[in-house]
Chains A and B, each alone.
Chain A
C-alpha cells in the first residue's frame, strides 16, 4: 500500500517553520546522510531508487549526478523551480508548505555530488513563495543546517534563491543557467551538457523541486521502499496537478502508474456536474492530447510514451465537450509563439506562423488546406530545433490536429 511521501505534512499548518519541521522529525535525513553515509553510498541509493526527473523529461536523477566529472572546479546545484509548464502547479505547494524538505534534499544532493553552492531558480511570479524560501533558508543557517561545517561534518553549503523574470524558456535547463548567469535566457547548444559544463562553465546538476524533495525520503527509508511506492523502473509517487472541468481540481500525490481514469473520476471527483469529458492533456501543455476513450492508461513514463503522449510534469488538464478544440489550439499556439526565445529558426518563425494561421481559422477564414499546412509546419519544427521548446510546441499541435481534425474542419 502506498502512502503520501511529499505531501504528508501539507496539512500541518506550521511545518514551513523549522521548529515545527524538526518537531515532526525533520532534518533526520540530513543527519543520517552527513553523519552516517559516504557520498558514494548516497549516489548508489538514489540510483537504486530509480528516481526519475519530475520536471518533464524523466531522466534518472542518480545517473545525472553520476555524470558530474571529478574535476578540480567548483560544482553547482540548480534547483529548477521555474514551474512554467502550463497546467503545472505542484512545486509551489512543496515550496510554500514544506520548504525545509526541499532544503534537506538540496543539502543531501550537494553533499553527495560535492557541491558547496546551490541555487533555487524560482519563477518570478512566485514572489511570496520566494520570500518563504528566504525565511526558511535563514532559519536553516541559524540552526546549523546551512553554512560552514554543517552538523560538524566538515561539509559547507550555501543556498541562494534567484528569481526569474517571467520567461517560459528559462525553465529549460541551459536557458536557466544563462539567466542565472545574468544573461538573456537563451538555451545553449548541447553538448557539452550541464553536468560537465554548466553554470559559470562548471559542472552543474539541475533537478526539479519535486525530484530533489524526494531525496530525504529515499535516504530515510531506502531505495527498495521507494521503488515499492511506484514502479520498478520508475520509483516513488507523483504529485498530479489536475485542472479543468473536474469537481475537485488540485494536487494529488499518487503512486506512479495510477490510472488516469481513476485520477479524474475518483481522486478529482469526476467531471463537473453536467460536463462531459472530451480530452485530456496528461503531462503539461506540451504533452500530446489524449481522447476521452484513451484515458484508461497508467500514468508512468513508459505507458504514456506507448500511447504517443508523455507524463511530462504530470499536470493533467481536463477538457470537456463544451470546449472547442480550435480554441484549445489557439491557446497552445499563442503560448508557444509568445514564449519562443527566438534563437533558432524553426521555433521562432514556425510557432508564429502556425499561430497566425490558427487565428485566421478562429476568425472563420480558414480552409482544410490550412490544417494540412499546420501539420506540415509543425512536422518541420519537430526535432529540428535547438532546444525542446520546439518539440513541446509541435507535439500537442500535431496530436490535436490529428485527433480532432473533424471538429476543426467543422469550425471552418
Chain B
C-alpha cells in the first residue's frame, strides 16, 4: 500500500495501480473516453489528464502508476483548462446531432459538456463530411461523423473476440474506424460494440430510433438464455397504463461482473429479449370439461391439490408425473424436490429443455437454459421425457414450461396426453400445447420474479423482479408453496415460505451444496 494525495485528501491505495483506479476507489470520477476497465490504457482521448506535483506536463490518469507520496490534482485550473480544450476539439468536428442520436442521454460527450462545456463554439470552419450510416454488421450502424477514434470497438474485436473486423483507416483528421473491404462485423458479441461506444458512432439496429434512453427504466437481472448467468440490465419503457400502453423491453445491456461475464454479454442474450413481452400467457385457462371451477388462482390450485391429495390417500403417488425445466430457480426446484420427491415419493420426474446448441470459448455455453447445474445440485437427475412411460401409468401430469414441444411433435404429445386423466401446464407463453391441458397456469419470467440460479460453474446468483409479472401470471415458487401448504406432510413448513429468501434459507439448511456455496 502507498499513501497518495488526490485533491489534497490522502488515500491509502494498492501500490502499482493507476491514478485513475486510485481516484475511482476514492470516489473521484475522472472523465475518460478511450479508457475502459476491460482494456489496457490507450491514452488517446486525452480527457483524463491530471496534474501531478513535480511533473512539468499534465499526465494521463489512465496510464500513470501511483507512487508513494504522489500528489495528484484532478480539478486544478490547468487540468480543467486542458480537459476543456480536449472536449472543444472533439465537439468541433462532432455533428452535434444529439436530437436524432440514439446515444443521447448515455453519451459521455454530453455528460462532459455539462462539466467542461465552453457554451459557445469558436469553430467557424466547415466540418468534415463523412459516412453517416454505414452498415458494418448485422446489428450495427456506424456513423463516422460521431466517431471520436477512441478505438474501444477496435480493441474489443482484437482482444475479446479475436476477430478484428474493424480497423483504423487514413490518418489525421481523416482517420476513421471501418470494416475491411466488405467484410462485416460478424460475431456473437457484436452488440457489445454499441454498448461500449462512448458516443453514438456505433448504434444498434435493434434499438435505433425506437425510443430515447432517458425514458427507459433499468433493472438488474440474470440472462437466462444459456447457463453462464451473465449479469444484465433490462431496460424497458414502463408503458402508459392510462392509455393501455403496456410496458415494453427495449434493450439488454451487460453489467460488469468479473467473476461471471466480465463486461460482456453475447448477442444471443442481448437480442433475445422479445420473449419477455411477446405472446405471453396472461390468464388462467380452464378446459370446458372442468368448467365447474372458476379460472382463479385459489380454485385452480385447490383443484390440483385435491387431485394430489386423492392419489396420496390411495398411496398411488407413483401415478403422478412431472415434466420440469431448468429455467426454474433454485428455490422452485427445491420446493419441487421437497414436495414431490421427499413428501410424496413421486418417481416420474423428467426434464424438458430447449435442446443444447453450440457454445463458444468466451461466454456462451451449449445449454440454452440457466439452471441445469442448480437442478443437478438439488439432487434431481436430469432425465429426458419418455412419452411411452408417461402414457402407461400416469393419471396426473404436471408440466412446467413448454419445451416438451421442442422434442416431440404436437400430435405425438396430444396422443399421449389424451390417455392421461388430469394434465396441468405451467407456462409463460401461449402455444399449441395449451389446448391439450385441463388447466394452464400463467407463470412469471425470471425478469418478473425473485430467486437464485446456479450457473454452469456452480456460482449461485440471486435475482430480483425487474417489473411486475405479465397479466395474472405468478412466480412458480409462490404456486408451489401454496400447493405444499395444501397437501404437504408438514403444512406449517410451507406456511412460512413467503419469499424466495425464506425458501433459500431452507434450501441451504437441507442441501449441502447451497450451504457451502453461500
Contact with B along A321-359 (1 / 0, CB 8 A): 000000000000000011111111110111111001100
Selected contact of A383 from candidates B42, B58, B148, CB within 8 Å: B58
Residues A352 and B44 in contact, CB atoms below 8 Å apart: no
**Cβ contacts under 8 Å, B88 to chain A:** 380
Which size bracket describes the interface of B in this complex? Answer: 35 or more
**Cβ contacts under 8 Å, A343 to chain B:** 44, 149, 175
B122 within 8 A of A: yes
Query: How far apart are the CA atoms of A360 and B124 in the complex, in Å?
Result: 10
B49 within 8 A of A: yes
Pick the interface stretch among B89-97, B199-207, B344-352: B89-97
Main secondary structure on B side of the interface with A: loop
Query: How far apart are the CA atoms of A379 and B85 in the complex, in Å?
Result: 9
B245 within 8 A of A: no
Query: How far apart are the CA atoms of A386 and B149 in the complex, in Å?
Result: 14
**Cβ contacts under 8 Å, B86 to chain A:** 345-346, 380, 384
B478 within 8 A of A: no
B43 within 8 A of A: yes
Selected contact of B171 from candidates A340, A373, A376, CB within 8 Å: A340
**Cβ contacts under 8 Å, A258 to chain B:** none
Residues A345 and B172 in contact, CB atoms below 8 Å apart: no
B368 within 8 A of A: no
**Cβ contacts under 8 Å, B93 to chain A:** 349, 352-353
Quick one: given A353-B89, A373-B122, are A342 and B46 in contact (CB under 8 Å)? Answer: no
B170 within 8 A of A: yes
| Least CB separation from A372: chain B residue | B122
A138 within 8 A of B: no
Quick one: given A356-B125, A356-B126, A383-B57, are A189 and B43 in contact (CB under 8 Å)? Answer: yes
Query: How far apart are the CA atoms of A239 and B289 in the complex, in Å?
Result: 105
A385 within 8 A of B: yes
Centre residue among B49, B58, B86 by max chain A CB count within 10 A: B86
Query: How far apart are the CA atoms of A360 and B125 in the complex, in Å?
Result: 8
Query: How far apart are the CA atoms of A167 and B58 in the complex, in Å?
Result: 27
Residues A342 and B122 in contact, CB atoms below 8 Å apart: no
Selected contact of B172 from candidates A342, A373, A377, A384, CB within 8 Å: A342
A38 within 8 A of B: no
**Cβ contacts under 8 Å, B148 to chain A:** 345
**Cβ contacts under 8 Å, B125 to chain A:** 353, 356-357, 360
Query: How far apart are the CA atoms of A341 and B175 in the complex, in Å?
Result: 8
Query: How far apart are the CA atoms of A342 and B171 in the complex, in Å?
Result: 5
Residues A353 and B123 in contact, CB atoms below 8 Å apart: yes
Residues B45 and A384 in contact, CB atoms below 8 Å apart: no
Tell me the chain B residues, 384-401 only, with Cβ under 8 Å from chain A: none
**Cβ contacts under 8 Å, B149 to chain A:** 342-343, 345, 348
Selected contact of A380 from candidates B42, B43, B85, CB within 8 Å: B85
Quick one: given A339-B172, A344-B46, A385-B46, are A349 and B92 in contact (CB under 8 Å)? Answer: yes
| Least CB separation from A349: chain B residue | B89
B219 within 8 A of A: no
B161 within 8 A of A: no
Shortest beta-carbon distance, A239 to chain B, in Å? 30
Contact with A along B37-56 (1 / 0, CB 8 A): 00001111111010000000
**Cβ contacts under 8 Å, A344 to chain B:** 43-46
**Cβ contacts under 8 Å, A384 to chain B:** 46, 49, 58, 82, 85-86
Contact with A along B162-194 (1 / 0, CB 8 A): 000000101111110000000000000000000
Query: How far apart are the CA atoms of A385 and B123 in the complex, in Å?
Result: 20
Residues B172 and A348 in contact, CB atoms below 8 Å apart: yes
A32 within 8 A of B: no
Quick one: given A189-B63, A384-B46, are A345 and B89 in contact (CB under 8 Å)? Answer: yes
Shortest beta-carbon distance, A383 to chain B, in Å? 5
Residues B126 and A337 in contact, CB atoms below 8 Å apart: no
**Cβ contacts under 8 Å, A189 to chain B:** 41-43, 60, 63
Q: With A345-B89, A346-B89 given, can you name 18 additional A-B contacts, CB distance below 8 Å?
A: A189-B60, A340-B172, A341-B172, A344-B46, A345-B47, A346-B85, A346-B86, A348-B175, A349-B90, A349-B92, A360-B125, A370-B124, A380-B85, A380-B89, A384-B58, A384-B82, A385-B46, A386-B43
Q: List 29 A-B contacts (CB under 8 A).
A: A167-B171, A189-B42, A189-B43, A338-B172, A339-B172, A341-B175, A342-B172, A344-B44, A344-B45, A344-B46, A345-B46, A345-B47, A345-B86, A345-B89, A346-B89, A349-B173, A352-B93, A352-B173, A353-B123, A353-B125, A360-B124, A370-B124, A377-B85, A379-B85, A380-B82, A380-B86, A380-B89, A384-B86, A386-B46
Across the A-B interface, give the 9 residue pairs with the lowest CB-CB distance, nearest first.
Answer: A342-B175, A380-B85, A352-B173, A356-B125, A349-B89, A189-B43, A340-B172, A344-B44, A342-B171
